[in-house]
Structure 1
């Protein structure tokens, strides 16, 4: 992660950190932004005065302020995948009883911006709206990474290398292999990497030039993904094709055929 060198850069990093609901305490926000606590407090107090951040007088927790929400609303009116994708997430969560997620790229990170929980008793609930991860960490995030042009992919891998230390089962070489497998099969699968016994399956949502606008994914227990991989993959492809057609304002393209499912043994070999 590049060390921010100006107050404006530091303030922007603090605002990005606050988009993740896990970061509300000064210590957590400062650490996530890579800013020392003294500078973070000074800048956050300025942002509070400008209405971009709020601070609870009792808990001292920080959260987005009314001015930030106004800016967010204006931005979403220009470019917001959520209204197009929500029906697909509802259908996927209902059909498979597991969590359906919409993620979008933000720099070299992936951000969860919409989520529909399934009804299966054991839920993959380690993501919340606003959660951020380095690209490649998680199935949706991996789908976004794999959809990038090769030169941009290598740049991203260089940027996220320090962040990958938090994920002992991942490094740049492992991610390159996962990217290759994702491109070959046409969708991403990542198991037992971020959370033990949990995983995900995902597909990117490309724009007219093939650049990823976002990714839709299903998160569940590993065995629930492996047992139904081909079926889930077909459903993701179908929904992705319809979403992209709607977004581009043209008729849906024919549904692609998902490859045959892998076994647990082949997954470990990958």
Structure 2
């Protein structure tokens, strides 16, 4: 019997996810930096633990998931790693961004991030840590946040079409529990401010005493496909906002000129 035999046929719009969508949800949750417990995967995907376990067992048989050493947690398997490696072509977005991340970290001394969109979330796909001793290490490669939560996540959201933003916020507001200083009104205000400035600045909204500044990276059609952001102590952001914004925009422009083809960027 198929491990998903109890799942319903493909749903109509607005109904429960179908079998393939459930597998995709588990794979996204599994891609976190640290191994995940079954309970965590169930909570994050919204799927019953029995369903998640059946999916994991099948993924493990195919090499896409493995149990961690403690036997209670799960992590990506070798086949998933191979897929990620095969995506690392010379024109890959991360490779394109790497020189920019290095220059920005050297210039600022702070942590620089490359983020892409995955559904209604921003995913950190690359990071460069600068030399300043107090570092913003709360985001690692693979970390996810709702769009609008953090400078990179806001840069991915702010320049989307208004109707798309409306749809995204309708979902995101249900996921803001861990971020008590952020709600629909605060995110809306952040979008307006970002469009006025031409860059995102968020201070003390997600992590106390920490701030971030970010800019969008666009493809040849003008659509946002990634974000460059820099995280640091709030005092360091305030003192250098204009300088950092100019440096981030310069590197984003350089990436765009390299050329990011239409459709490049995003992980889901």
Q: TM-score, normalised by structure 1?
A: 0.87
In the TM superposition, residue 41 of structure 1 has moved relative to its aligned partner by: 1.4
Equivalent residue, structure 1, for 2:6 = none
In the TM superposition, residue 80 of structure 1 has moved relative to its aligned partner by: 2.3
Matched, 1:116 2:128: yes
Aligned to 1:66, which of 60, 74, 78?
78
Unaligned runs of 5+ in 2: 1-13, 262-268
In the TM superposition, residue 139 of structure 1 has moved relative to its aligned partner by: 0.3
Q: Deviations over 1:131-168 (max 9, x none)?
A: 01110000011011002111111111112121112211
Matched, 1:150 2:162: yes
Whole-angstrom distance in 2 between the partners of 1:239 and 1:78? 18
C-alpha contact 1:17 1:23 (8 A) present in aligned 2: no
> Superposition RMSD on alpha carbons, in Å?
1.8
- The structure-2 alpha-carbon separation of the partners of 1:248 and 1:36, relative to structure 1 and needing over 3 Å to count, comes to closer
Q: Deviations over 1:145-199 (max 9, x none)?
A: 0021111111111121211122111111211110010001000011111111111
- Give 1:47-66 correspondences, 5 Å limit: 47-66=59-78
Whole-angstrom distance in 1 between the partners of 2:70 and 2:176? 35
Matched, 1:164 2:176: yes
Aligned to 2:234, which of 206, 222, 235?
222
Q: Deviations over 1:241-261 (max 9, x none)?
A: 111101259xxxxxxxxxxxx
Q: In structure 2, the residue corresponding to 1:120 is in which secondary structure?
A: coil
Matched, 1:34 2:46: yes
Q: In structure 1, the residue corresponding to 2:133 is in which secondary structure?
A: coil
Aligned length: 248
Aligned to 2:189, which of 168, 177, 200?
177
Equivalent residue, structure 1, for 2:111 = 99
Q: In structure 2, the residue corresponding to 1:84 is in which secondary structure?
A: helix
In the TM superposition, residue 4 of structure 1 has moved relative to its aligned partner by: 4.6
Q: TM-score, normalised by structure 2?
A: 0.87
Q: Which moved more, 1:71-80 or 1:123-132?
A: 71-80
Whole-angstrom distance in 2 between the partners of 1:162 and 1:105? 18
